[in-house]
């Protein structure tokens, strides 16, 4: 949802602010099942961000659960995977990987996982079932090291990779639903107040003329 900056009245300003809050909450709810999704914190949205696209995210850890899929990789800690984007490496928390047609690991969006320190030996991930990835992100085919997963690490706290696991969204559905209900009621109250202001303006214009 995009907003154009204008000299709005206080009531409409408030309604735009609440719409942005509602948008953030509904987006959180819609992504509650997206692996690695980090919720937007609607309580911190300022009116300045209503007119732009700035948002603050809650980067707290989501639950990590085992899947048994050797290419599912969950991050424990404040870090992101680096994947190949259109304009260079991008940060991603998506943890469901698979081998693409080139034999490289890619996420569900088709973005290849950046692997550094790659071996010069003729080792292919597609030709082996014996693939292990340790807590440091080092990839081994049998006993041979294939390379290391590139990470964007955001602080000095420990970071671990869990092979065969995914990180779920950190969205608390009950909390988001309660916040959405409160925000909708608040928006409806502002809508009624705006209607009352419009009615008063109309009455004044009809009574005193358009120069009021």
To 10 degrees, the CA torsion angle through 79, 82, 85, 91?
A: 0
In whole angstroms, give the CA distance from residue 92 to residue 167.
12
- What is the number of other CB atoms lying within 10 angstroms of the CB of residue 31? 16
pTM of the model: 0.64
Q: Show the beta-strand stretches assigned E in 68-203.
A: 73-76, 79-85, 88-92, 97-99, 105-107, 115-116, 131-133, 138-141, 144-149, 151-153, 160-163, 165-167
Is 116 in a helix, a strand, or coil? strand
pLDDT value, residue 2: 47
pLDDT value, residue 191: 66
In whole angstroms, give the CA distance from residue 113 to residue 106.
5
pLDDT in tens, the chain (212 residues): 444 444 446 666 667 777 888 888 888 898 887 877 888 887 655 545 444 555 677 888 888 989 989 999 999 999 999 999 999 999 998 888 999 999 999 998 999 999 999 998 888 898 888 999 999 999 999 999 999 999 999 888 999 999 999 988 878 778 778 877 877 787 677 666 666 555 555 555 555 555 54
């Amino acid at each position: 949802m995009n907003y154009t900056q204008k000299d709005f009245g206080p009531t409409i300003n408030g309604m735009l602010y609440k719409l942005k809050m509602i948008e953030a909450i509904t987006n959180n709810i819609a992504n509650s099942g997206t692996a690695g999704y980090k919720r937007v914190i609607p309580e911190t949205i300022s009116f300045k961000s209503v007119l732009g696209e700035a948002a603050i995210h809650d980067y707290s850890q989501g639950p990590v659960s085992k899947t048994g899929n050797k290419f599912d990789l969950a991050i424990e800690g404040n870090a992101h995977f680096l994947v190949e984007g259109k304009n260079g490496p991008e940060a991603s928390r998506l943890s469901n990987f698979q081998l693409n047609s080139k034999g490289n690991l890619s996420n569900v969006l088709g973005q290849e996982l950046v692997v550094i320190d790659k071996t010069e030996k003729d080792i292919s991930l597609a030709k082996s079932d014996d693939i292990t990835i340790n807590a440091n992100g080092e990839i081994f085919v049998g006993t041979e090291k294939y390379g290391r997963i590139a990470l964007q690490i955001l602080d000095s706290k420990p970071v671990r990779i869990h092979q065969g696991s995914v990180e779920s969204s950190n969205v608390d559905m009950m909390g988001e639903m309660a916040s959405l209900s409160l925000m909708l009621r608040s928006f409806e109250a502002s809508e009624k107040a705006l209607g009352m202001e419009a009615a008063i303006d109309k009455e004044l214009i009809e009574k005193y003329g358009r120069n009021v």
